[in-house]
Amino acid sequence: MRALVTGGGGFLGGAIVRALLEEGDTVTSVSRGDYPHLRELGAETHQADLADPRSLDDVLPGHDVVFHTAALTGIWGQREDFFRTNVLGTRNVLAACRESGIGRLVYTSSPSVCFDGKDHLSATNDLPYAARFLCAYPETKAQAEREVLQANSPTLATCALRPHLIFGPGDPHLVPRLLDRARKGRLRIVGDGANEVSLTFVDNAAAAHLDAAASLEFDAPHAGEAYFIGQEKTVSLWSWINALLADMGIAPVEKRVPLSMAYGAGLFLEWGWRLLPLSGEPPMTRFVASQLATSHSYDLTPAKRDFGYTERVDLVEATRRLVGSLQSSRP
């Protein structure tokens, strides 16, 4: 199989590239930057801006499947930037697939497209999109996901996966930011600290993409549908974080902030960052406050039933690998 991965230089994209190569597939990675280590693994690499409608003209023909993971992530920034990458970029990938006769596309979405600030426990893929979004990332990802699913046709079969809180060795975002804030004494338990959350080990997220692609056809059960992906076992978020901090020799988080206070502070800081304006991102936003205080766990039954997803690495082993990589990389 010849597979093209957009965003192959990213955390998840790189894991998908490695998983495909291990299966013996021919892999092309398309990213904004250059990633020599992917060439060393055996992938062909190209640099492109997917917001350019012609960016894939010379790269895409001849491939069998596209894994579209490229996105602009984050909790803060200009909506125009998120729209350009997440929506226009996805439209251009879909158009290029049609023009090149690509038969399958697996899109990497996010559970945040459904996040409405409320608890979601064991949610399935019939959870509706949020009616209101607290930042541009989930808003633009929801719009892009809708367009991907609507594009499902006899000539281009599509589906979307929503891995939640991806972690593992090499994670450049989630865990390093938690550790940095904890070391600086800037991490607080928001809410009652009892919220239940699904995490996703990066290799499991990659495997889910390969599983979905393997049987993807226009009339397959998962064609034109979106699926949550996570570990079989959920975690009590703050207990898991404090156990991780203990493994890293960092004091546990004990101070608590009510959700209403954190949400209010986020609103105030967002206004301040917009009006002044200030560089970087606010230390708290409404979206982050709501995410830290609420439960969001997901039922994997639809993914197992419709395209045979199975967890490769359980939570205990995934956490062990994460801690090992963090400890080995400490100065």
Residues 26/1, Cβ–Cβ less than 8 Å: yes
Please give the DSSP secondary-structure letter assigned to residue 319: H
- What is the DSSP code string of 164-209? -SEESTT-SSHHHHHHHHHHTT---EETTS--EE--EEHHHHHHHH
* N-to-C CA span, the chain: 41
Q: How many C-beta atoms surround the C-beta of residue 10 within 10 A?
A: 24
Give me the helix-helix angle, 286-293 and 259-275, nearest 10°. 160
137 is catalytic: yes
**Which residues are paired to 106 by β-bridges?**
67, 159
Of 137, 227, 263, 309, the active-site residue reads: 137
**CB–CB of 19/42 below 8 Å?**
no
**How big is the CA angle at 243 (ends 291 and 251), to the nearest 5 degrees?**
95
Residue 138: how many other CB atoms lie within 10 Å:
23
DSSP 87: I
What is the residue whose two structure tokens read 């549908």? 225
Question: Is 55 within 8 Å of 92 (Cβ atoms)?
Answer: yes
Residues with a catalytic annotation lie at 137
